[in-house]
Structure 1
Amino acid sequence: MRFALATEQLDFATELRKVLDAGQVPAAVRAWADGDTAKGTALLRQVAEMGVFSLIVDERYDGADATAVDLVVAMIELGRAAAPGPVIESAAVIPALLQRLPDTAAAQRWLPELATGALLGTVGFDRAQPGIALDAGTTELVLVAEGRRVAVGRPGHEPTDGAGSGPIASIDPARKLFRVVAGETVAEDVEDAIDYAFDVGVLACAAQLLGAGRAILDQTTTYAKQRKQFGRVIGEFQAVKQQLADVLIALDLAEPLVYRAALTLDTPDRARDVSAALVACGDAAHRAARAGLQVHGAIGYTAECDLSLWLTRVAALRTAWGTADFHRARIATALRTPATA
């Protein structure tokens, strides 16, 4: 079977890329890292107007009721642009979580505003980074999924919380990590909903890594065509060509795994496929980052160079939703299960 995106999905990706390109994302990311979220929030509002945050939200909550493939298309573009903020949590994880709860009260309460971008949310999982949530200090909604329970969370500002105060240092300055403590219970005995929402987050993270890897490859290829050394542009050297070709191959091989994971999200193969996608996309993006840094040379290390925004984003996302060892173990377990069944 040959898989290909529909014309509507390709057009959606093109239009979303135009919005992100016009939004001066690097400036918004740098401002977000400095604690000024106004530019980034305005950009996310524009993204929300295109329907990104409503993609997998059911129509009864003012959503688009689209597919996981549509979500992947959007997340690749957001990763390509290195968009700031909790986009995975707001557009993918929280909608998936709330719509799987037996009681619809929480979904009715928060999803309509999430779908329009009027509300940004984040969530912390005890299986990824226990007690930690992205941008919990600036989002309007914080959820904590621990064990079999979902609760409203809040940043731990007081020493008595046992959670410390202020953001936790991240390799990506624009990813503000906060320790969170659970408060009011939203739902109990909902382990299946938590598992599903976590896997949706893994899928969205894989898609963002794929997009980031593509962006690094594009930037590096452009630089290699302009930078001259020994009287020749460095892109003419075989060593540079080979590195970029290896990156392209890795990204092209990882991409089908992301779309397969989107198509099997509601099947028993879900955990295996999203983990495979994250491992492959994480490795490919890391390869792109290494090649990009080597081709750019010392300038690639500097904060003034836009490449650094993608380098640090890739490094952070590779472990944000579980380490490679964690996901390889899930894949191994899934592959062993049929033989022992």
Structure 2
Amino acid sequence: MKFELDDDQRDLASALERLLASSDTVAVARAWADGDPAGGLALWKRLADLGVTMLAAEATPVEVCIAFEALGRHAVPGPWVESAAYLPVALGREVTGVATLALPPHVPFALDADIADEVYVGTTPAGRIGALHVSVDRTRRLFEVGGGGETDPAAFDLAVLATAAQLLGAGERVLADSVAYVKARRQFGREIGSYQAIKHALADVRIALDFARPLVLGAALAEVPAGAAKIAAGEAAYLASRTGLQVHGAIGYTAEFDLSLWITKIRALLTAWGTPAHHRSRLLAELSA
């Protein structure tokens, strides 16, 4: 089956790209990581006004994937999966403002609970907000919360799918930045992108992302398990991050270089909303059944 976005979906993707490309999301993410959420909250309102927070409740998972791929491509910080994927389905309504949740064991901490308007454990309001835990992605500020709640399976799968779309977008951004870098960086009198080893490494990333995209869209159409999409997108994005780090050389290891925002985000999202091992075990159980 050949799948193509319709006109409305392409318009949504274009509108999101225009908004995010003009919003200096790198500065927003760095400020968010440093404990200054003002720019991120202003961007949150603009995205909410565009309709991102209502997609899970009023649109289809395809639109959710479009939005979350854009969020991943631009490293937008904040508890978007919680507010715009899980909770609208679990609560049966669009979330107003910023909301977050913990969902042990797969989501043990509540992302950005200190700035959220609503904090849940499952769909039960959290009893307390506890200690802050450090993530490899500094924009992911993880808090202990008290209370208990049940997991909504449909909401969990949509959150997994949204995370897969974020990984896909982040992987695409790392690949694009890496290709641009190897075209500009010269060594021994020539662009490093002209060397076959680098060409092949980047081509492998392109192939991995192209194979992951149909699984993400297939999961959005309920033809593929969401866990399969997250496994594929996670592996492709992680390959993009490793390859991007290698082709950038020493500068790729520095926190000051913007590439670090996507590399650390990819690493954190690999285990967010269920580890690869968890999703593989679910897939095995489904196939065995």
Common fold by TM > 0.5? yes
1:90 Cα shift?
Answer: 0.9
1:126 Cα shift?
Answer: 1.4
Counterpart of 1:124 in structure 2 is: 102
**Is the partner of 2:139 in helix, strand or coil?**
coil
The answer for unaligned runs of 5 or more in structure 2 is: none
Equivalent-residue separation in structure 1 for 2:105 and 2:159 (angstroms): 12
Counterpart of 1:78 in structure 2 is: 71
Counterpart of 1:5 in structure 2 is: 5
Counterpart of 1:236 in structure 2 is: 194
Structure 2 contact 137–268 (Cα < 8 Å) conserved? yes
Cα gap change, 1:248 to 1:155, in 2 (>3 Å): farther
2:125 to 143, 152, 155: 152
Q: Tell me which stretches of 4 or more aligned residues in structure 1 moved more than 2 Å.
A: 154-157
2:170 to 190, 201, 212: 212
Between 1:311-320 and 1:39-48, the stretch displaced more is: 39-48
Structure 1 contact 275–331 (Cα < 8 Å) conserved? yes
Structure 2 contact 112–143 (Cα < 8 Å) conserved? yes
Equivalent-residue separation in structure 1 for 2:105 and 2:229 (angstroms): 18
1:56 Cα shift?
Answer: 2.1
Equivalent-residue separation in structure 1 for 2:118 and 2:142 (angstroms): 15
Counterpart of 2:247 in structure 1 is: 295
- Number of aligned residues: 289
Cα gap change, 1:35 to 1:154, in 2 (>3 Å): farther
> Mapping of 1:96-111 within 5 angstroms?
96-99=89-92, 107=93, 111=94
Tell me which amino acid in the other structure corresponds to 1:178.
Answer: F
> Mapping of 1:183-262 within 5 angstroms?
194-262=152-220
Counterpart of 1:32 in structure 2 is: 32
Identity %: 47
> Mapping of 1:33-182 within 5 angstroms?
33-57=33-57, 65-99=58-92, 107=93, 111=94, 114=96, 119-130=97-108, 132-145=109-122, 150-157=123-130, 165=131, 167-182=132-147
Structure 1 contact 80–215 (Cα < 8 Å) conserved? yes
Structure 1 contact 137–155 (Cα < 8 Å) conserved? no
Cα gap change, 1:237 to 1:154, in 2 (>3 Å): farther
Tell me which amino acid in the other structure corresponds to 1:156.
Answer: I
1:291 Cα shift?
Answer: 0.5
- Is the radius of gyration larger for structure 1 or structure 2? 1
**Is the partner of 2:56 in helix, strand or coil?**
coil
Equivalent-residue separation in structure 1 for 2:10 and 2:192 (angstroms): 33
1:195 Cα shift?
Answer: 1.4
